[in-house]
Chains A and B, each alone.
Chain A
Amino acid sequence: MLWSDLERLGRLWDPWREFEQMHRTLPKWASQSAIEFPAVNVWIAGDTAVITTELAGVDPQSIDISVVGKSITLRGSRDPEGLSGDESYHRRERWHGQFTKTIEMPFNIEAAKVEAKFTKGVLHISLPRAEAEKPKKITVKSD
Chain B
Amino acid sequence: MADSSKEMHKKEVETPEKGEMTRARRIYTPAVDIIERKDDIIVTADMPGTDEKSVDITLEKNILNIYGKVETVIPEKHTLYISEYGLGDYQRAFTLAEEVDREKIQASVKNGVLKIILPKAEAVKTRKIAVKAEA
**Which positions in A face B, CB cutoff 8 Å?**
15-16, 18-19, 22-23, 26, 31-33, 35-45, 49-50, 52-60, 78, 81, 83, 86-100, 103, 106, 118, 120-122, 124
Contacts and interface: CB of A to CB of B under 8 A. Distances in A.
Interface of B: 1-3, 6-10, 31-38, 41, 44-51, 72-87, 109-113
Q: Is the interface of B mostly helix, strand, loop or mixed?
A: loop
A87 B8 contact: no
A55 B79 contact: no
Contact of A87 (B35, B75, B78, B109): B35
B48 to A, nearest CB: 4
Nearest to B46: A56
Given A23-B86, A57-B112, A95 B47 contact: no
B78 A50 contact: yes
4 closest cross-chain pairs (CB), A and B: A121-B112, A43-B78, A121-B48, A56-B112
